[in-house]
Amino acid sequence: MAVTLVEQVRKAGVVGAGGAGFPTWKKIDARADVVVANGAECEPLLHNDQYLMSREAERVVRGVELVMTAAGAERGIIGLKEKHRDAVAAFRRALRRRPHVRLAFLENAYPSGDEFVIVYETTGRVIPEGGLPLDVGVVNSNVETFRNIADAADGRPVTERTVTVAGAVRRPVCLSAPIGTSLADLIDAAGGPAEEEYALMIGGLMMGKLSRDAAQPLLKTTGAVIVLPPDHRLVRRRTVPFTRSLHVTREFCCQCMLCTLICPRYLLGHELYPHLIMRSVLFGLPFPEGGGRTSAHLCCECELCGLYICPMELPIARINGNIKRNLDALGWAPQKKTAAPAPRALRESSRVVTRRLVWRLGLQPYEAAVPFREEPLRPRSVKIMLRQNVGAAAEPCVRKGQRVRKGQLVAAAPAGKLGANHHASIAGVVREVRDYVRIDAA
C-alpha cells in the first residue's frame, strides 16, 4: 500500500513553522477546496519567509500541490506582499503552466499574517467565531511549512529552519540553521550583540516571547531572534507584573473604544469588544455575556490595541490572554458559531501600515539591511527539545553515548496522541537525554 502524504509528514516531524507549532499531519488530514500558503511575514524586522520564498518557491508550490491533492482542493493560493519582488518573481517562474495555484498580494500591513485575516484577504471567506479555516473549506499554513511538506514527501525530515537574527546586533542576518542550535550561536553569526546587556524577543516583536537566556535552542517554530537593549520599551512592557497591569488598567482606562476600533477580529465582524472587556476589569465584574470577558477567547493577541493605538499603552492583549487561560482552567468552552459574520465597513480604512508600526515601537534604529547568509551554520552542539509543538512531548528513542546521523529519529511522538517526531539535525554523539537530546558534532 502506498504511503499517504499524511503519514510522510507525520514521520518527518513537520509542525507549523509560523509559530504555533501545530502538528501538520493532523492539519492536512482533512477535506478542503482551497489551500492557502501564508507568506505575509507581517511582524517588523523579519525577513526569513521572503528569503525562503525567493530561494525555494518551487518547493513551496510543490508542497501546496501535494496538500491540494491530499485534501481534494481545486485551488491553491500563495499570499505574500508585492514589495517582496524577488519572491514574487520566483513564484511567477514556478507557477508557469500551473493555473490551479495563484498569487494573492497582501498589503504591507499588520497583522496580515493572522490566520483569520489572510484567509479573508485571499479567499473572501470569514472564519466564524471560535472556528478554524477548515470551517470555510480552507487549509492554511506558513510557506516554510509547505516547503517542509515537499521535503517530507521526498523522505527528508525537518532538521533545520530559516531564521532572522536582527535588532541590536552588529551584522543582522538571515540564515538557515540546524534545529537545536543555541541562540548564542545565532547571535554570534550576526556579529554578536551591539549591547553589553540585552534581552531577546523570540519569534517576533509583537507576538513573540521575551527571554534573557541565549543558551536556549532554536525550535522548529522559531522564525526570528530579535536582540534589544534591556531598557527598550518592548522589554520593559513585558516585565511588568500582571497584578500591576490590572492596577494600571483600572486606574487609566478611559473607555475611548480605540482598542475595539483597531481590533482585526472586530473588524472582520466578530463580536469582540476589547473596551468592554476592560470595563469589566475596571469594575471587577464577573464573566458577563454580551461582549463581556468571555469574548476574550476571540482575541488573537496581536497587541495592536495596547502597543499601537491605546493612548495609555494599556496591556489589553495580555489581560485578554490571561482571561482566556483562566476560562480554560475553569473548563469553560465557547459556543461555536457556524454563521460567518460580515466584515465591518470600517475595516478598509483601519489597516496599520508596518512602517507606522515600526515608528510607533521605536524600532527605526534597527531597520538595517538584512542579507541572507549562504554558508550553512555548523554548530558544535545542538539541543533537540522534546516539546516543540502543540500536543504531547516526544519520547526519546536514543541513549547517551549513541552515535547518530543527521536526519535520524531521536524522539518519537507518543502512540495515539497528537504530537511530532524530532530528528538529529547534525551528525554526532548523544551526550545528554533529558527533556532534550543533546548531540555534539562528531
What's the gap between Cα 77 and its chain centre?
Answer: 19
Question: CB-based burial of residue 434 (10 Å sphere; 0-12 exposed, 13-18 middle, 19+ buried)?
Answer: exposed
What pLDDT digit, counting tens, does each position of 147-193 carry? 999 999 999 999 999 999 999 999 999 999 999 999 999 999 999 99
The whole-number pLDDT of residue 1 equals: 41
Q: Are 66 and 109 in contact (CB under 8 A)?
A: no
CB contact set of 396 (below 8 Å; sequence gap of 6+): 386, 410, 411, 433, 437
Q: Tell me, yes or no, if the pTM score tops 0.85.
A: yes
What pLDDT digit, counting tens, does each position of 368-393 carry? 889 999 998 999 999 999 999 999 99
CB contact set of 375 (below 8 Å; sequence gap of 6+): none
Give the integer Cα–Cα distance in Å for 104 and 210. Answer: 33
Mean pLDDT in each 10-residue stretch from start to end of the chain (442 residues)?
86 94 96 97 95 98 98 97 96 96 96 95 94 95 98 98 97 98 98 96 94 97 97 92 86 92 96 91 60 77 94 92 86 78 92 93 93 94 97 97 98 96 98 98 92
Q: Which domains does the chain have, with CATH numbers?
A: 5-153 (3.40.50.11540), 240-343 (no CATH), 380-442 (2.40.50)
